[in-house]
Amino acid sequence: MGTTKAKQTAKAEVRKPSKAADDIPIVTRLALFRSQVEARYCEKRAYDLFLQNLVKGTSHLALGQEAVSAGVAMALEKDDYTYPTFRGHHHVLARGASMTSVLGELMGRQCGCLSGKGGSMHLSSVEHGVMASCAILGASLPIAVGTAWSSQYRGTSQVTVAFFGDGTANIGAFHEALNMAAVWKLPVIFVCENNLYGEYTVTTKVTAVEHPAADRASGYGLERIIIDGNDADVVYRTMQVAVAKARAGAGPSMIECMTYRQSGHSRADPAHYRPPGELDEWKKKDPVVIYRKRLLDLGVKEAVLKQIEDETMQEVNRATEEAKASPVPPVELAFKDVWSNGGIQWRN
């Protein structure tokens, strides 16, 4: 695949960053900024806690992808549903789940959102509309179809969002979900975070099309939407259109957000496979940095942004201490909640 073609595609189709003149209210913009800063600081803290061996198991950071979660969540109502991915700390935080519940879960403490029973890859919080978080790639897309079907059947205006990565667009469940959602005109939005890598492999190397999600959209009668996923305003604006369409009963949308995973696949991956200079190029487009600059350009005072950053850092510190102080769950918890009566009995 020639770079000329790729550049043409980008020029022709990738939606431009939002102009400063865009009429997004400043209060919304500050909330978008805060959401990104929260995800950024929390992810960095999660990494620090790995190094201290306080986070067990594996964990997958979304450093660099914070604009997607912020923009998506901002376009939703409280009772809408979102399905995070295994790389989903930011998805969960953006819906309003506390840092204590996220960091606590990574650390396997009782204060975690799953009391340590799920771990990093299964963060869920039903009270925040954060649904089953599957660590089997692609699995959540058909499940999201199910909640959208349920909303349609019950006659509510709820919208479901399923996050997924570029690698997932090569999995069968992706295609089954897209087709069923389109045929049933369901209020579901499939949000692809194209961070260029499926685990350790460049996605374009193992994918028949350049844009793993958007280039398949026409196969399901959907619009081909590719946006700058590092621009929270663009994500938010694009989501607003998709949400309105879904609430109007006009069916699903799929949005491919071009972004970049600034860390390796997991804690075990130093990402040596990246070409030299690539990370630096993307850091110039760092979503938190560009958004901060935009707000300053719009006349927001430095002190206001600094205050958001300071408050967020205090919150991360507070959540860290709270999680460290939280006990590990009692062993009895392992023997609960297989069944809805709370028990694990399989015999009489």
Partner 1 sequence: MAELSYREAVVAAIAQEMRRDERVVFLGEDVAAAGGCFKATVGLLEEFGPKRVIDTPISEQAILGAAMGASSTGLRPIAEIMFSDFLAVCWDYIANEISKTRYMTNGQFSFPLVIRTANGAGSRFGAQHSQSLENWAMMIPGIKVVAPSCPADVKGLLAAAIRDPDPVVFFEHKSLYSIKGEVPDGEYIDELGKAKVLRNGKDITIIALAAMVPRALQAAELLQTAGISATVVDLRSLVPLDMQTIIRETVKTGRVFTVEENPRLCGWGAEISSLIMEECFFDLDQPVVRITTPHIPLPATDGLEDAVIPSVDRIVAEIRRSVDFRPRI
148 touches partner 1 by CB under 8 A: yes
168 touches partner 1 by CB under 8 A: no
DSSP H stretches of helix in 263-301:
278-283, 287-297
CA atoms of 251 and 172, how far apart (whole Å): 21
The single residue among 103, 161, 180, 316 that binds partner 1, judged by CB under 8 A, is 180
114 touches partner 1 by CB under 8 A: yes
288 touches partner 1 by CB under 8 A: no
346 touches partner 1 by CB under 8 A: yes
How many Cβ atoms are within 10 Å of 247's Cβ, its own excluded?
Answer: 16
273 touches partner 1 by CB under 8 A: no
x-or-dash pattern for partner 1, window 311-340, by CB under 8 A? Answer: ----------------------x--xxxxx
42 touches partner 1 by CB under 8 A: no
The single residue among 151, 204, 262, 312 that binds partner 1, judged by CB under 8 A, is 151
The two structure tokens encoding residue 289: 């940095």
161 touches partner 1 by CB under 8 A: no
The single residue among 41, 81, 220, 236 that binds partner 1, judged by CB under 8 A, is 81
Closest separation between CB of residue 58 and partner 1, Å?
Answer: 15
The secondary structure of residue 328, as a DSSP letter, is P
Amino acid at 144: A
The secondary structure of residue 110, as a DSSP letter, is T
Compute and round to an integer the Cα radius of gyration of the chain: 20
Nearest residue (CB) to partner 1, 63 versus 97: 97
176 touches partner 1 by CB under 8 A: yes
The two structure tokens encoding residue 2: 């020639």
The DSSP H or E segment spanning 161 is: strand 160-165
Structure-token match 């058909």, residue found: 142
Closest separation between CB of residue 300 and partner 1, Å?
Answer: 38
The single residue among 92, 145, 217, 232 that binds partner 1, judged by CB under 8 A, is 145
157 touches partner 1 by CB under 8 A: no
295 touches partner 1 by CB under 8 A: no
Of the ranges 172-180, 245-253, 255-263, 319-327, which one interacts with partner 1 (CB under 8 A)? 172-180
The secondary structure of residue 125, as a DSSP letter, is B
**Is the four-CA dihedral 47, 53, 54, 60 of positive or negative sign?**
positive
Q: DSSP labels for 100-143?
A: HHHHHHHTT-TTSTTTTSS-GGG--BGGGTB----SSTTTHHHH
Cβ 258 vs Cβ 14: under 8 Å: yes
CA atoms of 47 and 53, how far apart (whole Å): 10
164 touches partner 1 by CB under 8 A: no
98 touches partner 1 by CB under 8 A: no
Pairing of strands 81-83, 201-202: unpaired
Contacting residues toward partner 1, per CB under 8 A: 81, 114-115, 117-118, 122, 124-126, 131-132, 134, 136, 139, 141-151, 153-154, 160, 172-173, 176-177, 179-180, 183, 333, 336-342, 344-348
